[in-house]
Amino acid sequence: MVFTPKEWNEVEAICKNREQQYERFLIPKKSGGKREILAPNDRLKELQKKLMNEFLYVRYIPSVYATGFIVDRSIVHNAMAHVGAKVLVNVDVKDFFPTITYEMLEEKIFLKKLVRLKELEKMLAEKNLKGPVKTMIGGGATSKEFAAQIGADAWGYDAIEAVKIVANLLKK
């Protein structure tokens, strides 16, 4: 489970008050002028690392061209991909992170809904319904490991696999 319900409430509060979660400071640019840096506070960094390690790295395979914040990749890997190129374009994505909202986070990775799935499994177990009632999750925001962690009876990679798994569950 990526976030407990308590942590998810904390994430929601952080996202709704993002300006207070960052320290702002300026550093000089090599081309002149100043670059504004927004550094997350310690608790936000901790939650971001947890999200990265327990959710993104488990479910997302980065492009071979991605090098930032990817395990065992560095600026050297980035440079090597461009050796011999006739043209090199450097793009600065301005104000990317400060524009991410709580609603975008919840919509794209369904974390709050995933937490509720564990609560549903717990409720079914408490009411002794886990035998007669079978549960299955699937799709890109989940994994077989997550299904086992929350107590689901089955997991399917996609709809085609899900149909086969349900057919097997119904035979039991």
Least confident of 27-41, 61-75, 123-137, 150-164: 61-75
Q: Which residues contact 98 (CB under 8 A, 6 or more apart)?
A: 18, 22, 38
Give the mean model confidence (pLDDT) for residues 10-31: 85
The per-residue pLDDT for 137 is 84
pLDDT in tens, 62-78: 777 778 778 888 888 88
Does residue 20 or residue 97 have the better pLDDT? 20
pLDDT at 169: 81
Rounded-to-5 percentages of helix, strand, coil across the chain: 50, 10, 40
- Tell me the C-alpha distance between 11 and 5, whole Å: 10
Q: Is the pLDDT of residue 118 over 60?
A: yes
Closest to 144 (Cα-Cα) out of 71, 61, 58, 62: 58
Which pLDDT tens digit goes with each residue over 28-37?
988 888 888 8
